Amino acid sequence: MSKQKVSLKDIARKAQVSTALVSYVLNGKQKEARIGEEIASKIKQIAYELNYQPNYLARSLRSGKTQTIGLIIADISNPFFASIARIIEDEAKQNGYTVIIGSSDENADKSRDLLAVLMNRQIDGYIIVSAENSAEQVQDLVEKDIPFVLLDRYFPNIYTDFVSTDHYEAAYEGTSHLIANGYRRIGMIAYRSAMYHMKERIRGYRESLNDNQVSFRKPWLREVNFSRTEQEVRMAIDEQLKAKSSVDALIFASYGIAINGLRYLNELNLTVPDDLGVVSFGQAEGFDLYYCPITYLKQPIGLLGQTAVQLLVEKMNGQRSETAQILMKAELISRESSTTRNAR
């Protein structure tokens, strides 16, 4: 014989409080109801002891909401996206939401399929790291008035909510840092992409060279395909080193490019920073474990994830009607890989 399902009334009876009060606490609304931490903790503990399982189906039928957020990220193997997914999960939980995560693997078709699956599950809202060629999907969400926030990547021609790093400013600062440290033949390896964030990184690099009176040479900028990163990064470095004016420093426009680039520099027996200075986008343990700690542009992962959730929750709850477009500053973390040339 199966055990009878524990109800809110059972918890209220044991805690000696009203059913409404239990409901507020277990739905994450204790602050709104001004319920003290002590009584809230007591209710949660009793719910745990009684093995209370909320009836999400009944709740969603009553409210029209499933209390779930769909998160579509670009590449789960990238530490940046893995970290930001964790932050979004934690922030969503604080607001009473569960997160369902999918990775598009930088593929627009897979992104479209994920959106279709999540919509069939009646997800309340979405946080999306857009893939290449997915502008149409975003425009469709706008037209259907579905709550969503774009994260890290956005489309300047589509007026919608987004939270992103200022990619232009970050690349500009990274390039200027190398110039200030005595490097003059600075190359960049970026993804061959129409995505705005990658174009902005390239623009920041080019404009920093120009503003610092450093002449740009075409072979210094190489673009690689995401699906062939390892092979094409090798080819790019070969071209940059064999150029008439070979590079003395490299900026890697993503973590994936950096890992492949640093591995190849090791194979070539080139020493960082003696042979080549290095600055990279992205942050991960790999940069600490490399024999020469890598200078990198640290994106505000915590703030990006938390802000995206907050904006989406406000939108889903009808607390905000205006569009929010937020750019955040990356922090240059200067390490040994970009040491001043005269100091060596």
CB 251 within 8 A of CB 279: yes
d(CA 81, CA 170): 18
Which secondary structure element, helix H or strand E, spans residue 327, and what is its range?
strand 325-328
Q: What is the CATH number of domain 167-299+332-343?
A: 3.40.50.2300
- In DSSP notation, 37-104 reads HHHHHHHHHHHHHTT----HHHHHHHHS---EEEEEES-TTSHHHHHHHHHHHHHHHHTT-EEEEEE-
Does domain 8-54 sit in CATH 3.40.1350.10?
no
Q: Answer yes or no: same fold for 66-164+301-327 and 167-299+332-343.
A: yes
d(CA 145, CA 243): 51
Could you give the C-alpha distances from 31 to 42, 299, 315, 319, 321, in angstroms and in order?
A: 15, 31, 19, 16, 23
Which of 28, 8, 27, 26 lies closest to 18 in space, CA to CA? 8
Which of 176, 251, 198, 266 lies closest to 221 in space, CA to CA? 251
Domain ranges of the chain: 8-54, 66-164+301-327, 167-299+332-343
Per-residue pLDDT of the chain (344 residues; tens, 9 = 90+): 345 678 888 888 988 988 888 888 887 777 777 888 888 889 888 988 888 776 654 555 455 577 899 999 998 888 889 999 999 999 999 998 999 999 999 999 999 999 999 988 889 999 999 999 999 999 999 999 999 999 999 999 999 999 999 999 999 999 999 999 999 999 999 999 999 999 999 999 999 999 999 999 999 999 999 999 999 999 999 999 998 889 999 999 999 999 999 999 999 999 999 999 999 998 777 788 899 999 999 999 999 999 999 999 999 988 888 999 999 999 999 999 999 876 44
pTM of the predicted model as reported, rounded to 2 decimal places: 0.81
Does domain 66-164+301-327 sit in CATH 3.40.50.2300?
yes
Could you give the C-alpha distances from 257 to 7, 168, 222, 230, in angstroms and in order?
A: 53, 18, 11, 8
